[in-house]
Amino acid sequence: MKKIDLTTHVLIPKHSKLGDKDKEEMLKRYNVSLKGLPKILVSDAGISHLSARPGDVIEIVRDSPTAGKAFFYRVVVDE
């Protein structure tokens, strides 16, 4: 069967891994710890190309009809 690259699909928003510095900055900006962030599974198909490890923070940029671009952050978890 043909393998599909999910990241190019229109319905899948852009996922990217935050660097250490960006991650610190983002946690500080929202005054939140990793525990307070929404989660995403390591096994999630949307981040399989990012080689993310538990504890990493994924930035998701969605198109929004009212805000233009909407930013969302998720912490990678194991379980």
Partner 1 sequence: MEDSYVYKRVGSVSFAVLSPKLIKKMAAAKVVTPELYDKEGYPVDGGLMDVRLGVIDPGLRCKTCGSRLKECIGHFGYISLARPVIHLSYVNVVLSLLRTTCRDCSRILLPDSKIQQLGGKGVKRSRIKDSIASSKTGNKCPHCKARQYKITVEKPTTFFENERRISPIEIRSRLEKIPDADAEAFGLNVGAVRPEWMVLTVFPIPPVTMRPSITLETGERSEDDLTHKLGDIVRINQRLFENINAGAPEIIVEDLWDLLQYHITTFFDNDVAQLPPARHRSGQPLKTISERIRSKEGRIRHNLVGKRTNFSARTVISPDPMLELNEVGVPEIMALKLTVPERVTEWNMEYLKNFVKNGPKKYPGANYVIRPDGKKKKLTEDIIEATLEEMQPGYVVERHLMDGDKAIFNRQPSLHRMSMMCHNIRVLPYKTLRLNPAVCFPYNADFDGDEMNLHIPQTEESRAEAEHLMLVQTQLISPRYGLSVIGCVQDAISGNYLLTREDFSMPRHAAVDMLSSIGVSELSRLPKRESVSGKEIFSALLPADFDFVGKSRSSAEPEVVIKGGKLVSGVMDKNNLGEGSGLMLRNIHKKYGEAFAVDFLGKLFRLGVSVLIRRGFTTTIADTDLPDEAHDSISKIFADAEVEVQELVSQFNANSLDTFPGRTARETLELKILELLTRARNDTGHVVAKFANRDSHTLIMANSGARGNLLNLAQIAGSVGQQALRGKRIEKGFKNRTLSYFKPNDLGSEAHGFIRSCFKSGLKPAEFFFQAMVGRDSLMDTALRTPKSGYLYRRLSNAMQDLRVEYDGTVRDASGRIIQFAYGEDGVDVSKSEGGTINVSRIISKVK
Candidates 7, 12, 41, 72; binder of partner 1 (CB under 8 A) is: 72
62 contacts partner 1 (rule: CB under 8 A): yes
Q: Tell me the window of 1-9, 14-22, 48-56, 70-78 that interacts with partner 1 (CB under 8 A).
A: 70-78
Q: Tell me the window of 2-10, 15-23, 49-57, 66-74 that interacts with partner 1 (CB under 8 A).
A: 66-74
Residue 73 contacts residue 58 (beta carbons within 8 Å): yes
Tell which residue, 42, 62, 64, 63, has the closest CA to residue 53.
Answer: 42
Candidates 18, 23, 37, 40; binder of partner 1 (CB under 8 A) is: 37
